[in-house]
Amino acid sequence: MAILVTGGAGYIGSHACLELLRAGHDLVVVDNLSNSHEESLRRVRELAGRDLVFHRADLRDAQAMERLLATGTIDAVMHFAGLKAVGESVEKPLEYWDNNVNGTLVLLAAMARHRVKRLVFSSSCTVYGAPASVPIRESFPLSAANPYGATKLTIEHILRDLHHADPAWSIGILRYFNPVGADPSGRIGEDPRGIPNNLVPYITQVAVGRLERLRIYGSDWPTRDGTGVRDYIHVTDLVLGHLQALEKLRAGPGIMTCNLGTGSGYSVLEMVRAFERVTGRTIPYELVGRRDGDIPEAWADPTRAKTDLGWSATRGLDEMCADSWRWQVNNPEGYGNSR
């Protein structure tokens, strides 16, 4: 298939592009490079041994989206583009609503005009808010504890309304838990700008000497060691779930929602100790106050993904840490020191 990948130069998007090319799909990538690097796509081409088409554009640019979809060659869209930091969303809610929701509306309108009605959407476990229990199932009540989660939940509502109005759409809503790791080549990985918002790149940047110490937000959560507990999933497992969803959507119209997680939760301190064990590096850290918008614990019940998509995560915690570290060691300055 010919697939339009939004946000394809970013962390998850670049890994998806690699696996899509390896699976034989033709790709058109759109990314505004606000929090990503075109170098990632050069490396994706190199690793896959195949080319892709890249357009630097913003989803909110209606004319740009019109030009991309007017070609009549796109069969499906994999939608990753969006701002994604919980803490930043609390500080800059208008930017998140404009970028995530408005950008998606512009994209969907262009897709509808050109009868491209197959979509895999990158949602998030933040749509469950502060769940009453774990593991989290897709049937749990939905809410949002922060503006980032609210944008994802709003987009889910939009997609359900769209499918209700036009059942010809085929839509997969994939709720991520916490993607970590990198392609085993060490050539592509997570390269946030500024101080990382996510735990594992923060750990690796401390380990490589870019940052002095890890800040752990909250040591008084009602968890086994007082730090937050999350379901960490290897990014390659995550994007392979997208390929399975894409295959499922080829069977015909419909809308489905699946968690993508491992079904296991690890605390921040457990992640630090696992990384130290795998790499032999000591990670200095300091305990600070809780961060607005955070919740104590969240991990998935991935049963539906296994049943409906034939997918399950296969890469364990040691592999996540080792691949994250390999990426960081090979690229101590991220894509900023391209080679």
Residue 182, phi then psi, degrees to nearest 5: -160, 165
Closest C-alpha to 231, from 124, 84, 78: 124
Catalytic residue among 11, 148, 176, 202: 148
Helix (H, G, I), strand (E, B) or coil at 111: helix
**pLDDT value of position 263:** 97
**pLDDT value of position 87:** 82
CATH 3.40.50.720 for the 2-337 domain, yes or no: yes
**pLDDT value of position 339:** 44
- pTM summary value: 0.96
Tens of each residue's pLDDT in the chain, 339 residues: 999 999 999 999 999 999 999 999 999 999 999 999 999 999 999 999 999 999 999 999 999 999 999 999 999 999 999 999 888 898 999 999 999 999 999 999 999 999 999 999 999 999 999 899 999 999 999 999 899 999 999 999 999 999 999 999 999 999 999 999 999 999 999 998 888 888 999 999 999 999 999 999 999 999 999 999 999 999 999 999 999 999 999 999 999 999 999 999 999 999 999 999 999 999 999 999 998 778 899 999 999 999 999 999 999 999 999 999 999 999 999 998 554
Tell me how far apart the terminal alpha carbons of the chain are, to the nearest angstrom. Answer: 31
**pLDDT value of position 231:** 98
Give the number of other CB atoms < 10 A from CB of residue 318: 12
**pLDDT value of position 115:** 97
Write the CB contacts of 215 (distance below 8 Å, at least 6 apart in sequence): 202, 285, 286, 288
**pLDDT value of position 86:** 84
96 part of the active site? no
Question: Six-digit token pair at 270?
Answer: 């457990």
Give the number of other CB atoms < 10 A from CB of residue 165: 10
Whether residue 41 contacts residue 9, with contact meaning beta carbons closer than 8 Å, is answered with yes
Interatomic CA distance for residues 145 and 292, integer angstroms: 9
Interatomic CA distance for residues 109 and 106, integer angstroms: 5
Whether residue 256 contacts residue 308, with contact meaning beta carbons closer than 8 Å, is answered with yes
Interatomic CA distance for residues 103 and 83, integer angstroms: 11
